[in-house]
Copies of this chain bind each other. A is one copy, B any other.
Amino acid sequence: MRIVLDAMGTDHAPSAEVEGAIGALQDLDADVDIVLVGDQSVIARELERHPPVQTGRLHVRHAPDRVSAADSPASVLRKKPDSSIVVGLRMVQAGDAAAFVSAGSTGAVMATSLFTLKTLPGVDRPAIGTILPTASGPCLLLDAGANVDCKPHQLHQFAHLGHVYAQDLMGLSSPRIGLLNIGEEPEKGDELSVETHGLLAADPALSFVGNIEGRDIILGACDVVVCDGFVGNVLLKFYESVAEFIIGLLKKELSHTAERIDLDEVFRVLDYTETGGAPLLGLDGISIICHGESPPRAIRNAIRAAARAARANMVRHIASELGTPGTAPEV
Contact = CB atoms under 8 A, between A and B. Distances in A.
Interface stretch (A81-89, A199-207, A226-234): A226-234
Nearest to A234: B214
Contact of A234 (B134, B149, B182, B250): B182
A219 interface: yes
A237 interface: yes
A259 B241 CA distance: 28
Nearest to A258: B259
Contact of A182 (B181, B217, B229, B261): B229
Specify the main secondary structure of chain A where it touches its partner.
Answer: helix
Interface in A193-247: 193, 213-219, 228-231, 233-247
Interface in A62-117: none
Interface in A157-204: 180-182, 189-191, 193
Interface stretch (A15-23, A264-272, A308-316): A264-272
A234 B190 contact: no
Contacts of A235: 214, 234-235, 238
Given A215-B237, A234-B214, A243-B246, A148 B189 contact: yes
Contacts of A249: 266-267, 269
A148 B238 CA distance: 20
Contacts of A42: none
Contact of A230 (B189, B241, B247, B254): B189
A48 interface: no
A145 interface: yes
A37 to B, nearest CB: 27
Contacts of A237: 213-215
A295 B266 CA distance: 29
Interface of A: 134-135, 145, 148-149, 180-182, 189-191, 193, 213-219, 228-231, 233-250, 253-254, 257-259, 261, 265-267, 269-270
